[in-house]
Chains A and B, each alone.
Chain A
């Protein structure tokens, strides 16, 4: 008899996938991180190291992925949940179970991309509902449309997870338990080379052509000086700060003057601190709950600023007119970016400067998305992810705690971010035009390049060839068989030559040949299985 999961476990995993999705969508918590989800599922099904290993591998594959402007990416969270659950049922040895888990997780992640698109399309219903509620001046319905906007997001994960685990776990077992050895070996190699995809994607977002020197520094520190990863990260921080403090500031003095000329007069405000705190919590917890393709974060923004508008415009007609004004396209980084814009807009709404506020919103969402996405997706997340994945792959649960901490840290930043914006108000324009954003993103990208120079060889150290060349040589008249390890010759030319070649090959395919991420993923999967099966890698 093959093992399978009952209703209860299936339901718990489904609820987790719902909660993980929504906790990320709303307050940016990283419950949906593959390592965290793998850890949770591992704990539920009684095999934590397996969950951590599958989560860790998926984490590295998705290193450079970020949903820029709401683009869809493979759903590695669901992959980690279903992959861990299925593989844990088998009676396989850890390495084989891990390979089996990846065999399930990768196709599931890709398939879920399609369901994500379906889920996201349904979200449009909610913003249209909210439009009608504003027309009818029905505040309660307006709130409901926003808060229930989370349903398509959560359910598009929870329902497939529930049925996959409940009905699929049994039938899949017979497949998993009969994986031939060559395929297990191939899948192992696949697991070793897949992180190259994550690193390759990340490099396409970094200014490597301009600042390759930082990458070389990181590489030398790891490959020749054997500095541990944390040491490399600290050195990167120091070098980048030194570099930018020596570099002259290209000041936008004249522009700053121009910005200062846009004046806002002080008006006695009916808005209390309680209203501001209410608006801030609404924004920081739920901005993206009703995210939709059509106007993205618009509904969440309107719902969040409603308490301010209600005080500024006590007349019902005026209030709903103001609310409608905010039901327009809005999208920026929800954690580092939006809280500050929102804070400044609250200050301007309070001073009855709606036109200035609207213009501020529209013009700042681009720059702030730039700064937030760079700091979060290109610098912080990859660094944490590499550390967390290394820990997870060694079976340490601390990998999961590390990612959870990062998510809570981002959430924490939303609060000072809001007050910064509120205090600055229109002054934010002056701050931004001083060139601060370019400076911060430049610093973040150069630090990331430095660090990746060390992290790439470290994480991909397993990409090695076991090939040997044997040849007959005559030594002192005797015929001796000598074997030369090809890897040793590679190491003499350049340490970690294969990992570097692999990552830059991925980079080249993505950037110069314009391959899609999916095409490269499929190539790596097939190449990994074949090279592993034939013991070439």
Chain B
């Protein structure tokens, strides 16, 4: 029983529901992102992708409120952030996950990005946010599924010269 943080621009996707929820044994999903929570279509449709798991689509502030009302000793929850900044905001708000993984970060049009792994695009701002999370004493893994190697993302960013 614990909280797990998953950073993925696809939010709730096949890899999330099929692989990660079953990997962690998560029984509930919280998507915490201001932009997503503001879009009525995404708010309605996203929970439908969760294959029956109870799902909330909320802003980061509401997500923190929701999390503080839950007990990690009794509930397994997968918290999904859309990007590094969102994840950092959650962590700075006092959220303490058991582990942090990045599933997919597609490049955002009009930004200067580096492909750290074929499925992970990172800008300098993202890199700073990932580093800030790493500095809190967390290892961030960049796995698409449990079958990928559990590398250390911050170390990869250093190697790529982003930090």
* Chain A residues whose CB sits within 8 angstroms of the CB of B13 once the complex forms: 69, 331, 365-366, 369
Interfacial residues of chain B within 20-48, with CB under 8 A of chain A in the complex: 22-23, 39-42, 44-46, 48
| Contact call A259/B41, Cβ cutoff below 8 A | yes
Q: Which of B69-77, B92-100, B125-133, B140-148 contacts A (4 or more CB under 8 A)?
A: B140-148
B124 at the interface (CB under 8 A from A): no
Interface size on A, residues (CB 8 A): 51
Instruction: Give the number of A-B contacts (CB < 8 Å).
Output: 123
Q: Which of A151-159, A214-222, A311-319, A429-437 contacts B (4 or more CB under 8 A)?
A: A429-437
* Chain B residues whose CB sits within 8 angstroms of the CB of A204 once the complex forms: 22
| Contact call A68/B121, Cβ cutoff below 8 A | no
Interfacial residues of chain B within 84-110, with CB under 8 A of chain A in the complex: 103-104, 106-107, 109
| Contact call A370/B49, Cβ cutoff below 8 A | yes
Interfacial residues of chain A within 74-119, with CB under 8 A of chain B in the complex: 117
Most buried by B among A204, A252, A367: A367
Please list the 3 inter-chain residue pairs (A to B) with the smallest Cβ-Cβ separation, ordered nearest first: A329-B106, A293-B118, A366-B49
Interface residues of A (CB under 8 A from B): 68-71, 117, 120-121, 124, 204-205, 252, 255, 258-259, 261-262, 293-296, 324, 327-329, 331, 356, 359-360, 362-367, 369-370, 373-374, 429, 432-433, 435, 437-438, 441-442, 511, 514, 516-518
CB distance from B43 to the nearest CB of A (A): 8
* Chain B residues whose CB sits within 8 angstroms of the CB of A121 once the complex forms: 118
Bound complex: CA A300 to CA B98 (Å): 38
CB pairs A–B below 8 angstroms (26 shown): A68-B19, A258-B40, A258-B44, A293-B115, A293-B119, A294-B106, A294-B118, A295-B107, A327-B109, A328-B106, A328-B109, A363-B42, A363-B44, A366-B11, A366-B12, A366-B14, A367-B45, A370-B14, A432-B44, A432-B45, A433-B44, A433-B45, A437-B48, A438-B50, A438-B51, A518-B147
| Contact call B12/A262, Cβ cutoff below 8 A | no
| Contact call A429/B15, Cβ cutoff below 8 A | no
Q: Which residue of A lies closest to B40 (CB)?
A: A262
| Contact call A71/B41, Cβ cutoff below 8 A | no
* Chain A residues whose CB sits within 8 angstroms of the CB of B51 once the complex forms: 370, 374, 438, 441-442
Residue of B41, B46, B52, B107 near A360 (CB, 8 A) is B41
| Contact call B106/A435, Cβ cutoff below 8 A | no
The interface size bin for chain B is 35 or more
* Chain B residues whose CB sits within 8 angstroms of the CB of A294 once the complex forms: 106-107, 115, 118-119, 121
* Chain B residues whose CB sits within 8 angstroms of the CB of A374 once the complex forms: 51
CB distance from A295 to the nearest CB of B (A): 6
* Chain A residues whose CB sits within 8 angstroms of the CB of B11 once the complex forms: 366
B123 at the interface (CB under 8 A from A): no
| Contact call A359/B39, Cβ cutoff below 8 A | yes
| Contact call B41/A356, Cβ cutoff below 8 A | yes
Residue of A69, A295, A433 near B15 (CB, 8 A) is A69
* Chain B residues whose CB sits within 8 angstroms of the CB of A516 once the complex forms: 146-147
Residue of A329, A359, A433 near B48 (CB, 8 A) is A433
Bound complex: CA A367 to CA B145 (Å): 19
| Contact call B17/A370, Cβ cutoff below 8 A | yes
Residue of B10, B39, B42 near A331 (CB, 8 A) is B10
Residue of B22, B45, B49 near A429 (CB, 8 A) is B45
CB distance from B53 to the nearest CB of A (A): 9
* Chain B residues whose CB sits within 8 angstroms of the CB of A70 once the complex forms: 119, 144
B18 at the interface (CB under 8 A from A): yes
| Contact call A369/B42, Cβ cutoff below 8 A | no
| Contact call A363/B17, Cβ cutoff below 8 A | no
CB distance from B115 to the nearest CB of A (A): 7
Residue of A295, A329, A331, A511 near B22 (CB, 8 A) is A511
Q: Which residue of A lies closest to B45 (CB)?
A: A363
Q: Which residue of B lies closest to A120 (CB)?
A: B118
Whether A69 touches B41, Cβ cut-off 8 Å, given contacts A366-B13, A367-B49, A438-B51, is no
| Contact call B109/A429, Cβ cutoff below 8 A | no
CB distance from A331 to the nearest CB of B (A): 7
* Chain B residues whose CB sits within 8 angstroms of the CB of A296 once the complex forms: 106
B56 at the interface (CB under 8 A from A): no
Bound complex: CA A433 to CA B48 (Å): 7
| Contact call A359/B42, Cβ cutoff below 8 A | yes
Bound complex: CA A252 to CA B119 (Å): 35
B9 at the interface (CB under 8 A from A): yes
| Contact call B48/A438, Cβ cutoff below 8 A | yes
Residue of B18, B40, B144 near A205 (CB, 8 A) is B18
CB distance from B118 to the nearest CB of A (A): 3
Q: Which residue of A lies closest to B9 (CB)?
A: A329
| Contact call B10/A329, Cβ cutoff below 8 A | yes
| Contact call B45/A324, Cβ cutoff below 8 A | no
* Chain B residues whose CB sits within 8 angstroms of the CB of A517 once the complex forms: 147
* Chain B residues whose CB sits within 8 angstroms of the CB of A432 once the complex forms: 44-45, 48
Q: Which residue of A lies closest to B8 (CB)?
A: A69
Bound complex: CA A211 to CA B13 (Å): 23
Whether A366 touches B118, Cβ cut-off 8 Å, given contacts A69-B14, A262-B40, is no
